Structure 1
Amino acid sequence: MLDCLAVGVGGFVGSVLRYLAGLAAPSSSGFPVHTLLINVAGSFALALIAGLVLQGLVSNERLSLLLRVGLCGGFTTFSTFSFETMSLMGEGQMLMACAYAALSVALCVAAAFAGTMLARML
């Protein structure tokens, strides 16, 4: 139960930070630069935290959950996607990494399209 609380606290903080970051960098061009920057920052943060965990510099599992799953997950799930793709590449699984990246983008965009269409129908 304490692990769930740690993830929840981290998720709360990450979500609030994402909201504030979106307010701080409004885009007038129509290109979602704030989301792009949030996703890049989240990808960097997750990889950094995971590296610190692997090196034993962050050894408290609950703190690791709070930071990796909660904070980064609340800030952006794109960080997890990026880290997993990089991990597959690091393991020499280039075809799987490319397939995962292509499917993730294609399916998520398709799902967003489907959700938009369903919302318009309701």
Structure 2
Amino acid sequence: MVYLFVGLAGTLGAILRYAIGITFFTHSTFPFTTLFINLIGSFLLAWLTTNLFKRISVSPLLVSAIGTGFVGSFTTFSTLSVETVTLLKDGELLLGIIYIFVSIFGGLLMSRIGFKVSGEAGKS
């Protein structure tokens, strides 16, 4: 049963990701869509797993569906990789480096903010 819920939530995450991309970032050479979505996803997963899922009673099935299914399909590392290689191939070395730097350190920062907002920062 967990596979069905993860798959359904994954479908919703993928659709939302696509909708954001075609709505807000359609005419840019820089991969703003993936960057934005991965940063938001990093925050969202950290916040959900340390705040919402601990404050309200959520079944493990729903936790898997939302975390692995929805957020997992909403964010993507493979797209980040391909877009970075494309930037480098197109001679955009500086943009490629900026993209990787902001994606990695921005994702870590957004996760940290998600933890901090939930009150879990600094706890072991």
Asked if TM exceeds 0.5, the reply is yes
Relative distance call for 1:58 and 1:75 in structure 2 (3 A) is farther
Could you give the per-residue CA deviations for residues 32-66 of structure 1, whole angstroms, max 9, x where no partner exists? 1111111111111111111122x242431111111
Report if aligned partners of 2:41, 2:71 keep a CA contact under 8 Å in 1.
yes
Q: Report the TM-score when normalising by structure 1.
A: 0.58
More relative contact order, 1 or 2 (CA 8 Å, 6+ apart): 2
Residue equivalent to 2:68: 69
Q: Following the alignment from structure 1 to structure 2, what is the Cα–Cα distance between the partners of residues 11 and 63?
A: 12
Relative distance call for 1:24 and 1:5 in structure 2 (3 A) is same
1:45 aligns with 2:29: no
Residue equivalent to 1:23: 22
Q: Following the alignment from structure 2 to structure 1, what is the Cα–Cα distance between the partners of residues 7 and 27?
A: 33
Q: Following the alignment from structure 2 to structure 1, what is the Cα–Cα distance between the partners of residues 11 and 26?
A: 24
Instruction: Tell me the number of residue pairs that the alignment of Structure 1 and Structure 2 aligns.
Output: 86
Residue equivalent to 1:4: 3
Q: Following the alignment from structure 1 to structure 2, what is the Cα–Cα distance between the partners of residues 11 and 70?
A: 4
Q: Report the TM-score when normalising by structure 2.
A: 0.57
Amino acid at match of 1:31: F
Relative distance call for 1:36 and 1:58 in structure 2 (3 A) is farther
Residue equivalent to 1:32: 31
Could you give the per-residue CA deviations for residues 53-90 of structure 1, whole angstroms, max 9, x where no partner exists? 2x242431111111100000110145xx957x869xx7
- The alignment partner of 2:71 has SS state of helix
Q: Which stretches in structure 1 are left out of the alignment for 5+ residues?
A: 93-122
Q: Following the alignment from structure 1 to structure 2, what is the Cα–Cα distance between the partners of residues 3 and 35?
A: 27
Q: What root-mean-square deviation, in Å, do the aligned CA atoms of Structure 1 and Structure 2 show?
A: 2.8
Q: Which stretches in structure 2 are left out of the alignment for 5+ residues?
A: 78-103, 116-121
Identity of aligned residues (%): 35
